Amino acid sequence: MTSILELRSVSKNFGSYQAVHDISLSVRPGEFYALLGPSGCGKTTTLRLIAGFDDASSGDILVSGERINHLRPYERNVSTVFQSYALFPHLTVRRNVEFGLRRKRVPEAEVRRRTADVFDLVHLTGKEDRFPSELSGGERQRVALARSLVLEPAILLLDEPLSALDPNLRKQVRSELKALQRRTAVTFIFVTHDQEEALSMSDTMAVMHKGRLEQIGTPRHLYLEPQTRFVAGFLGTVNWIGPVGVRPEAIRISRQQPELPARAAPAVIQGATFLGSSVHVEARLATGETIVSEFSRLDSGFEEGEAVHVWWNPADELRPAS
């Protein structure tokens, strides 16, 4: 399938500091693509290079096969939803959404048609005459989405768009955003440091670290087959037992020694942490390593100081190359 977006050996320097190092990636039309990594890893800089807010120091950026390095932001067929939403507080919802169309001098009939369609799409019909201050956080986020989608971009860039929402609302809007992307078939490039957001929403994830791409793949592939220790540790919790990593959900604890071929080690229960839907039980091996095992909240019945066996299936081991 032809790529709608390509980055070919793209780098970005700010003076002597190299924020992005030789990044190459390819995004398919209609894909939900996540750029994931900790603060300072270069993911937002990469997004800004695609949008045209910053110029690449080297390399090429292509949209639908056309090199766009020389194009200004408004000349690129991309639109951006900012972390702060950047809504105009003195304009109504309708005027906020129409703003880009009117700057492009789109005919009035076309403005009305597009805004009516997008209000219906993001469930804002009936709230067109309100001001941003009269909306909830989730509604303001939908206005920002509508303002970008109404321009009918080939690619929608989203810079941590859920970070300002409280946890419960974030989960709700996350589900709405995924459904919206499926309905519109617009290519989404989604920047986030939240592993759960990236794992639950994206078709493809690119994990970044210190300005470089660590690994690209599906959420399932990256979680189960990380190529580096950084990717393994960033995408959830890992127990490092010598050179081997094992996720807490793959660790078992029992009072009887398990049968082969399971790998097992004696341990002593250190305590447990109640997390609502699950319980994390900590056990210390004879080597001094602390192992975390995840239980359903009904299955944990171990006492602190109790001698047990920690075991796991060899098929569940993570063996990153570096």
Q: With bands split at pLDDT 50, 70 and 90, how would you rate the model's confidence at 322?
A: confident
pLDDT of residue 138: 82
What percent of the chain is predicted at pLDDT more than 70? Answer: 98
Judging by beta carbons within 10 Å of its beta carbon (0-12, 13-18, 19+), is residue 239 exposed, middle or buried? buried
Cβ distance 65 to 8 under 8 Å? no
| 74 touches 61 (CB < 8 A) | no
- Tell how strand 307-312 and strand 263-274 pair up: antiparallel
What pLDDT sits at residue 300? 63
Order of strands across the sheet that contains 252-254 = 252-254, 307-312, 263-274, 278-285, 290-296
Residue 1 in this model has a pLDDT that exceeds 70: no
Q: What is the mean pLDDT of residues 107-117?
A: 92
Sign of CA dihedral 111, 177, 62, 19: positive
- Asked if 219 and 205 touch (Cβ cutoff 8 Å), the reply is yes
| CA nearest to 51, candidates 213, 229, 43 | 43
**Distance, CA of 7 to CA of 36 (rounded, Å):** 16
pLDDT digit string, tens, across residues 138-154: 888 889 888 989 998 99
Confidence at residue 71, expressed as pLDDT on a 0 to 100 scale: 96
- The pairing of strands 32-36 and 204-209 is parallel
pLDDT digits (tens, 9 = 90+) for 229-281: 999 999 999 999 878 999 999 999 999 888 877 899 999 999 988 888 889 99
**Of all helices (H) and strands (E), which one includes residue 246?**
strand 244-246
Q: Report the range of poorest mean pLDDT among 31-40, 160-169, 208-217.
A: 160-169
The residue-averaged pLDDT of 110-130 equals 90
- Closest residue by Cα to residue 55 from 40, 43, 73, 41: 73
Q: Could you give all domains of the chain from N- to C-terminal order, each with its CATH number? A: 5-230 (3.40.50.300), 247-316 (2.40.50.140)
pLDDT at 308 over 90: yes
The pLDDT assigned to 175 comes to: 84
Half-sphere exposure of 129 (CA within 13 A, CB side): 1
- The strand pairing partners of 290, in sequence order, are 284
**What is the predicted pLDDT for the residue at 121?**
85
pTM of the model: 0.87
pLDDT, position 298: 62
